[in-house]
């Protein structure tokens, strides 16, 4: 039985040998060989399916560490700003730990699946009249003024937990990939993966480190533009972030690895979202598909040498924001065929 991120990697994490782990069995997610993508890109592409975590996003890796450490420190309440997945994960792990949680989300911009998770787990949910960056600013102020433990990815415990995905990729492949691709929003995840790949090399558990290829949504691409984006806009609400908290660390990951951080349009994101589900059997939320859209763009630009070993992280499950699967390619709504209960009509509908 997989024991969860803290137990499986305890000696490589910043946590005491006897600290009880607050876990929901996170980590140990599938690394799936993507035949269609491999053929299309001319490389060996594996997809790290992080939607298979307990709250259906990669955030659980960081949250098990942050809540484990918060509980050990005697915290009674945690708080976070979120575009949705962090709030869902914080609420679930806080509940598991018997700690109360408060989450601040941009009003009207949180996907229904994520909202339902935060509410289901009993979080106090504040809808802020602003964007994610405003929520994070407010959270920092509240955590300074009140006895609440901030669990956003500015908290190093989150980065610690999230780096384990890099460990799992090397453990599964027996080597580090040549290129690792992932979406970039607040930039905690690219920071965490780079830390994990470097640590495995330093420990002699990997002979190399990958180039880090990060992708932002074109309407929310501050690192690509080189300045904050005041009004970030994208259908990929998970990465609708204009002033990443881990900006410098993301640039370090890009530069030290000889990688890149680029942007992809909403159209490219939605096309990649559909390509994944309709050809690979992998269902992700739009923000996650920014990594696949970016891989296709990089391959088009000749940045993926033939035969490269490439891993791509898809960060959240498609059920978080299911509406996008029900829209046809031209944006219209798809309506399932209705048939009376008789075999002839059904057979005719099946064509």
Query: Which residue ranges make up the site for ligand AN7 (CB under 6 A)?
Result: 57, 82-86, 153, 183-189, 238-239, 285, 287-288, 315-316
Using an 8 Å Cβ cutoff, are 166 and 192 in contact?
Answer: yes
Which of these, 317, 329, 340, 332, lies nearest to 59 by C-alpha position?
317
Between 3 and 107, name the residue whose CB sits nearer to ligand AN7. 107
Token reading at 49: 């399916």
* Token reading at 238: 């998970």
**Residue 218 Cα distances to 31, 145, 204, 267, angstroms:** 27, 36, 38, 10
CA angle 227, 229, 235 (to 5 degrees): 135
Hey, what's the torsion of the CAs at 216, 61, 63, 103, to 10 degrees? 40
User: Taking CA 20 as the corner, what is the angle to CA 15 and CA 21, rounded to the nearest 5 degrees?
Assistant: 75
3-state secondary structure 276-329: HHHHHCCCECHHHHHHHHHHHHHHHCCCCCCCCEEEEEECEEHHHCHHHHHECC
Q: Is the dihedral of CA 222, 225, 228, 234 positive or negative?
A: negative
**Of 239 and 293, which has the nearer Cβ to ligand AN7?**
239
Q: Which is nearer to ligand AN7, 95 or 288 (CB)?
A: 288
**Which uninterrupted H or E stretch holds 211?**
strand 211-217
Q: Which is nearer to ligand AN7, 186 or 257 (CB)?
A: 186
Q: Least Å distance between CB 134 and ligand AN7? A: 13
* 177/286 with CB nearer ligand AN7: 286
For residue 24, what are the contacts with CB-CB under 8 A and spacing of at least 6? Answer: 4, 54, 55, 60, 64, 92, 93, 96
Residues 319 and 57: beta-carbon distance below 8 Å: no
Task: Tell me how far, at minimum, the Cβ of 293 lies from ligand AN7, in Å.
Answer: 13
**Whose Cβ is closer to ligand AN7: residue 262's or residue 285's?**
285
Q: Exposure pattern of 83-98 as b/e (b: 16+ CB <10 Å)?
A: bbbbbbbbbbbbbbbe
User: Is the CB of 193 or the CB of 200 nearer to ligand AN7?
Assistant: 193
Between CA 167 and CA 205 the distance in angstroms is 9
Q: Which is nearer to ligand AN7, 162 or 308 (CB)?
A: 162
Q: How far is the CB of 310 from ligand AN7 (least distance, A)?
A: 18
């Amino acid at each position: 039985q997989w024991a969860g991120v803290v137990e499986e990697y305890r000696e490589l994490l910043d946590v005491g040998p006897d600290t009880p782990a607050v876990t929901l069995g996170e980590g140990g997610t599938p690394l799936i060989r993507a035949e269609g993508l491999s053929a299309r890109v001319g490389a060996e592409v594996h997809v790290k399916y992080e939607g298979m975590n307990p709250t259906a996003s990669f955030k659980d890796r960081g949250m098990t560490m942050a809540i484990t450490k918060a509980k050990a420190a005697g915290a009674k309440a945690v708080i976070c700003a979120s575009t949705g997945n962090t709030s869902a994960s914080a609420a679930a792990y806080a509940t598991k730990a018997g700690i109360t949680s408060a989450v601040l989300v941009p009003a009207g911009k949180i996907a229904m699946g994520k909202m339902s998770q935060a509410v289901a787990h009993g979080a106090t949910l504040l809808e802020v009249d602003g964007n994610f960056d405003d929520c994070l600013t407010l959270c920092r102020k509240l955590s300074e003024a009140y006895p609440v433990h901030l669990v956003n990815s500015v908290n190093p415990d989150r980065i610690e937990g999230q780096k384990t995905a890099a460990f799992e990729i090397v453990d599964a492949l027996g080597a580090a990939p040549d290129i690792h691709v992932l979406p970039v929003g607040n930039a905690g995840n690219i920071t965490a993966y780079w830390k994990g790949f470097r640590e495995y090399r330093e420990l002699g558990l990997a002979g190399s480190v990958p180039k880090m290829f990060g992708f932002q949504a074109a309407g929310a691409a501050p690192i690509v533009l080189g300045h904050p984006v005041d009004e970030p806009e994208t259908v990929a609400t998970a990465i609708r972030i204009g002033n990443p908290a881990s900006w410098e660390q993301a640039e370090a990951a890009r530069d030290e690895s000889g990688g890149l951080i680029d942007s992809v349009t909403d159209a490219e994101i939605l096309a990649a979202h559909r390509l994944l589900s309709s050809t690979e059997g992998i269902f992700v939320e739009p923000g996650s598909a920014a990594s696949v859209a970016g891989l296709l763009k990089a391959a088009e630009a000749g940045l993926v040498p033939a035969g490269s070993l490439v891993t791509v992280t898809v960060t959240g499950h498609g059920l978080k924001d299911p509406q996008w699967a029900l829209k046809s390619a031209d944006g219209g709504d798809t309506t399932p065929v209705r048939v009376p209960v008789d075999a002839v009509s059904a057979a005719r509908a099946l064509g």
